[in-house]
Chain A
């Protein structure tokens, strides 16, 4: 046993969200700020996202470079980053059991920040029938295999999905020296920028099968093919030795659920308000565990935003330490923020009049120049036309300029799309 350690803020997960939170808190003088990361390297998913699109317009970076930069910045700010340490379960309202190379331990904190990220749902969770051959990947496993471990994959791969992460997976397949036989999506078209879709089609000659699902995996031992079914009922077998199931992210919410934190039915992550407070005072959540998945920049922005609320919480404790009650920052005046179909989810998903963080949403179907409407008990709080099309699996943002109109006593707030 390494015994009980005490810190001021314990952050679980050293991806962009967790690192940004810890860096901001440490720089702001929040005391002992510690991150535990179960992987042996800090940095989160960008570590194996060996492509551009990170950093800023003026300073573009690849994923691994961005991860290194964040880790360095966090350490320089004074936060402790401990890798190879797993947070196993709660040891108290603001305490966690951990396990690392030095053995089991317990860390208690004045505030806990969950930044546990997300993962892609694997083939089994998607109930794809067939045999159980080798050669079946998610993007995350594929990228780690190729970019972190230099492992061989097969020679002919089918990529399931046509969103940004799917195109990244296709690039990784090509980097590994294999061919992308086809990409497929059950939707009517790709869910990425037209430029990216065109590049895949024209420069790489990759066929995109739309309105198509995986009906069955074939092969004993090693994958020998994928049986696909078009919406009109036609089926075909694509011979291949590798298949990558991309997208369909779910939050890694194990700690949130074990802790009995309220979860949001839409995102399946912990329910949070605009200050990223969960249902338990002193516990915050940031990054992909809230909205699987958003960009690293969004996660980092949330981390910085949450740091402010964590500081308020810590200060509140100090002010009210002898009053024996919770700080003002932990007041329970948030009301549920719900989306109506065809919107799928929104995060944050609780709202208080003071919230300022933009919301991220997802739609289930393509929307052309939709009008978003925010209402509470029939009262219209906000109305906004978007001037672009909105696609499934792509970010839709709703600014938070209307939250001061929310009445904490007037029930749930709804976000809907006008027909």
Chain B
């Protein structure tokens, strides 16, 4: 197992290099790991996997009922949802099938629901149905006054957005993929049939290159000589409410998309919190992952209308993520036959759901369009993400709010892809993710991390 975060890179050329270890890059690495003959590198600019759009989204396992019918996204989300649901069950990734309600708050939105139901049919999703205000309030008794009806989409689920890419990466690394962290790609040259990839940690060679660089996919594409699209970061700010708010909401409460915009959703999380968001702000700064006073005030105003009781509960966390919008209403997955590469661009909030189907599609393109000879295919050994040991260490809780034991923290620190920061540890164990945000446990958790890293 090879995971590096410093020092020189291997000099032997790889068959495939994947740039970007987000949920999509990790899924592609996992898919390529099924071809034992291939030597694969997963290259990531940051110090952990899943640190871009993958870590800060709405954590929904979509059915794809509202995708643009006939689009690549519609197909990959539909296929990916089934694949990920099965994978999550096999791997112990937390999923909760809560279902969604698209709540209509005015006549215009109510009138839009039948069309959305038809769209769902076009997307081969058959279970959506319209419900009236009475059933809506019976299902969601804490909903604010004035809702007129809803479209019930029972197949929508919530999922853990951090465990999913970690499971992919763990499996990939366990089957021979090399993961290189803190390895920002600065330039790419072509020497014969080899990509010469200049990174902050030296040079990496690969015959085939997959651009899964998310927000930076356009910049990397230009280094590769393509100029097909521009990524405009679209910021989404979200508020996470305390677990005491969980009783207020039973479904994912989606807004009805209208001409005036998409609006915000209220959704449970698999950890028993309640999510409110996202905002939608087109920016030009790919580092602008900060929340704003206006954004938070706007969210609270909208959340208070949807679920008035929410505002009485404590806020546990506030975060902002950037979606990779490309000004084009579909994924931008393109094979470059002459240049031995595939670009996976414009993967927006549905990327988590679609990740396994995207990986399958991309590896297919590598084979059929760019001439990669994958060799034989093998089954991967399953990975379990929910393992909890027995013994005294698992009875001593370090993080009281989220009930994370010393044993679980030690396990995470000894994992093949260990966390390098407190945030990385939080995404793996939820230590420091609760209502006190480290008031009680912060110093103790930091001590365990520092002890393991020295």
Contacts and interface: CB of A to CB of B under 8 A. Distances in A.
B319 interface: yes
B226 interface: no
A88 B403 contact: yes
Interface string B303-324: 0000000000011111100000
Given A124-B316, A250-B314, A40 B437 contact: no
A69 B450 CA distance: 32
A140 B439 contact: yes
A125 B395 contact: no
Contact of A101 (B287, B396, B403, B444): B396
B55 to A, nearest CB: 11
Interface in B225-257: 240, 244
Interface string B428-454: 000000011111101110110010000
Q: Which 6 A-B pairs have the closest CB atoms?
A: A122-B437, A101-B392, A144-B443, A141-B442, A145-B443, A140-B439
B439 A119 contact: yes
B318 A99 contact: no
Interface string A210-245: 000001111010000000000000000000000000
Interface stretch (B76-84, B96-104, B288-296): B288-296
A252 B242 CA distance: 13
A127 B318 contact: yes
B446 A119 contact: no
Interface of A: 38-40, 84, 86, 88, 99-104, 119-125, 127, 129-132, 134, 137-138, 140-141, 144-145, 148-149, 151, 215-218, 220, 250, 252, 257
9 contacts: A86-B403, A99-B395, A101-B396, A122-B438, A129-B291, A129-B293, A131-B290, A151-B450, A216-B290
B129 interface: no
B443 A125 contact: no
B319 A132 contact: yes
Interface of B is mostly: mixed
A38 B290 contact: no
Nearest to A98: B395
A122 B436 contact: yes
Nearest to A126: B315
Nearest to B240: A124
Interface of B: 240, 244, 287, 289-293, 295-296, 300, 314-319, 392-393, 395-397, 400, 403, 421-423, 435-440, 442-444, 446-447, 450
Given A124-B318, A144-B442, A144-B444, 5 more contacts: A38-B397, A84-B395, A86-B397, A124-B317, A138-B438
Contacts of A88: 403
A123 B397 contact: no
A186 B349 CA distance: 39
B446 A151 contact: yes
**Max chain B Cβ within 10 angstroms of own Cβ: one of A39, A120, A137, A144:** A144
Nearest to B401: A254
B290 A145 contact: no
A101 B318 contact: no
A41 B435 CA distance: 22
Contacts of B296: 127, 129
Nearest to A104: B395
A148 B289 CA distance: 33
